[in-house]
Amino acid sequence: MGDHLAPAPYLRWRGWQSGGVNSRSPQGRRASLEKQPHEVAAMFDGVAARYDLTNTVLSFGQDRSWRRATRAALGLRPGERVLDVGAGTGVSTEELAHSGAYAVGADLSLGMLHAGKRTRPAVPLLAGDALRLPFADASFDAVTISFALRNVNDTDAALRELARVTRPGGRLVVCEFSTPVNPAFRTVYLSYLMRSLPAVARTVSSNPDAYVYLAESIRAWPDQAALAARVGAAGWGRVAWRNLTGGVVALHRAVRN
């Protein structure tokens, strides 16, 4: 469905979808996503120590393939500059660097940044708010945000700020939890999310309550088409998405207008 979008040489659009007119309204689905930045930062400070391990356990190891898919979707070339917003411990930033691009991460939680500095000293990480990034206009060839856009209290402003720091023609990839496409699988998944995930988190995480928020925020997040519409309204063109793990995660890709 996305093949009618003219492909740039570094992007393969085959298998990506676009559109957004029939999606659920994003406005009515954000009630539990109104976290204040200091609350979000404090919550992530509390999970930082065991963040990487907890992620891998709760996603049954899928997180690694989602990160590889994000890197591939960005189509990075050696020497390009890519910004990873909401980088946390730098686990997503480190994956981007495997492309040969210069990858820098920014995050609001000092706890996550400290944990990242300990475990990944070679990854450049700095403090920064997705809504006020400490970079000049058009500084990057590509920007990405993995499992973090859902936590920012103004999604649309964050998407506009990502566009501001990206050069015209530069690329965006949002990697985020989404809506499984198969109804039967969706039912099983939502049950895992609301019941089992918080229970498993109690055994591995340093702040299990954060995983109750995780489950609720995933359930309240716009579906693939609704998020695509918001990306398109925030200064990005040629928006398309691709489901991973049946839509548990979706990659949204776009090009800066």
In the chain, what are the helix, strand and coil shares in percent, each to the nearest 5?
A: 45, 20, 35
The reply to whether 152 sits near ligand SAM by the rule CB under 6 A is yes
Please, what is the minimum distance in Å from the beta carbon of residue 104 to ligand SAM?
Answer: 13
**Rounded CA gap, 9 and 3, in Å?**
14
Report in angstroms how near the CB of residue 7 gets to ligand SAM at its nearest.
26
CB 205 within 8 A of CB 50: yes
Can residue 112 be called a binding residue for ligand SAM (CB under 6 A)?
Answer: yes
Beta strands in the chain, from DSSP E residues, in sequence order: 81-85, 102-107, 125-127, 140-146, 166-177, 236-244, 249-256
Complex with ligand SAM: residue 115 or 225, whichever CB lies closer: 115
CA 169, 174, 176 angle in degrees (round to 5)?
170
Interaction between residue 109 and ligand SAM (CB under 6 A):
yes
Name the one range near ligand SAM by CB under 6 A: 126-134, 161-169, 224-232, 236-244.
126-134
Stretch that binds ligand SAM, among 7-15, 40-48, 199-207, 228-236 (CB under 6 A): 40-48
Q: Which residues lie across from 126 on neighbouring strands?
A: 106
Torsion of CA 230, 165, 8, 70, to 10 degrees: -70
Binding residues for ligand SAM, rule CB under 6 A, total 23
**What angle is formed at CA 147 by the lines to CA 145 and CA 149, rounded to 5 degrees?**
60
Q: CB of 93: closest distance to ligand SAM in angstroms?
A: 8
Binding segment (CB under 6 A) for ligand SAM, from list 127-135, 166-174, 215-223, 246-254: 127-135
Question: Residue 88 interacts with ligand SAM (CB under 6 A)?
Answer: yes
User: By CB under 6 A, is residue 142 in contact with ligand SAM?
Assistant: no
Q: Under a CB-based contact definition with an 8 Å cutoff, are residues 148 and 90 in contact?
A: no
Please state the closest distance from residue 196 (CB atom) to ligand SAM, in A. 19
- Region near ligand SAM per CB under 6 A, out of 21-29, 39-47, 183-191, 244-252: 39-47
107 binds ligand SAM (CB under 6 A): yes
Confirm or reject binding of residue 176 to ligand SAM (CB under 6 A): no
Residues 6+ apart with CB under 8 A from 156: 230, 233, 234
Binding residues for S-adenosyl-L-methionine: 89, 107, 129-130, 146
